[in-house]
Structure 1
Amino acid sequence: MDDEKRRRLDCEKRAVGLLARREHSRLELARKLADRGFAADEVDPVLDRLVEEGWQSDRRYAESLIRARAARRYGPDRIANELAQQGVDEGVASEAFAAEPQDWAELAREQLLARFREPPADFPDRARRHRHLVRRGFPPDLSHELAGWWPDEDVGPDFP
């Protein structure tokens, strides 16, 4: 076996090993392989083959990331930004958001309850809550709408 073929097989083995642990975007996988000493002309054909055979999918990666970040109560703006940083096409990201529907308002309420222990006392407190939700990636209009929200007192401690 010649040296070039051995390098290609080693590159493919490492890529599959990375994908076996968790989903990766194509860009993320290319970066990790480059960090391991593989040149772009070695990586691109391997990644093309992995995409072709269904081992790597930016759509699957996006859906996985959306589920994981929503479980940690991050908003859609932050998730979309992270997908863009990982090289996921905007159209693919939109399809993944449609495939993984979330109640973003409910997630924002859960985040408010997790972060704050009492209802907003005054305008600066509502502004603080608004900034917190925006930093977590919720749309500014939703953050504005929920900044003064607090559950009714007749709702039990298990809310939401």
Structure 2
Amino acid sequence: MPNDAQDDEFEVGPKPAAPRPGLSLKARAVGLLSRREHSRAELERKLAPHAESAEALAKVLDELAQAGWQSDVRFVQGWVHRKAPAHGLARISQDLRLQGVGSEEIAKVQAELKNSEFERAKAVWSKKFSQRETPLSTSEYAKQGRFLASRGFSMDIIHRVLKGTSDHES
């Protein structure tokens, strides 16, 4: 009868690899930031499961911000640049709030975009419906209004676009 000690010497199959330590918080953060800009709140949410403590996470985020690798201002600029041509103020503001951007930054964005709201709504409407005249039926008017509302444009802007009034008329 074979000895138990002998069985241990002749294990079949590969040995399990030793657990490899995970990436540091800073390495994970830099990896995320190398793909695209992140708001501080978004980065914090993504890194929290890997952090030993909230203090360690805050320290890493502070270091990244101080070094210029993470910037909420840069995040907001990029977000607005991508989203503004297709969305209204309400949608952009809501999206930024969901990304953890502060109300001061959101107010700045609203002030910057307010003057171009009508032109952006008109461009979105023209691209989608490819017609230059106003909608004829009430169901078509409602359909087009819902579309613009879903993009975050205000009711005042929607009415002006669908009635075919210019930006300076009321």
Equivalent of 2:38, from 24, 27, 34? 24
Kept in 2, the 8 Å contact 1:66–1:97? The answer is no
Aligned ranges 1:11-160 → 2 under 5 Å: 11-35=25-49, 37-41=50-54, 42-71=56-85, 73-98=86-111, 103-118=116-131, 119=133, 120-149=135-164
Deviations 1:115-148 (A, max 9, x none): 2144411222222222211110111211121123
Give the C-alpha shift of residue 101 in structure 1.
7.6
Distance 1:137 1:24, change over 3 A: same
> Within 2, Cα distance between the matches of 1:57 and 1:86?
13
Give me the TM-score of the superposition, normalised by structure 1: 0.77
Quick one: percent identity of the two aligned structures?
A: 35
Q: How many residues align?
A: 143
1:92 partner letter: E
Kept in 2, the 8 Å contact 1:74–1:136? The answer is yes
List alignment gaps of at least 5 residues for structure 2: 1-20
Between 75-84 and 138-147, report the one with greater CA deviation: 138-147
- Rg comparison, structure with higher value: 2
List alignment gaps of at least 5 residues for structure 1: 1-5, 152-160
Distance 1:49 1:102, change over 3 A: farther
Query: What is the CA RMSD across the aligned residues, in angstroms?
Result: 2.5
Aligned to 2:9: none
Deviations 1:84-120 (A, max 9, x none): 0111001012234556787221111111112214441
Deviations 1:32-53 (A, max 9, x none): 2135x33452321111111122
1:77 partner letter: A
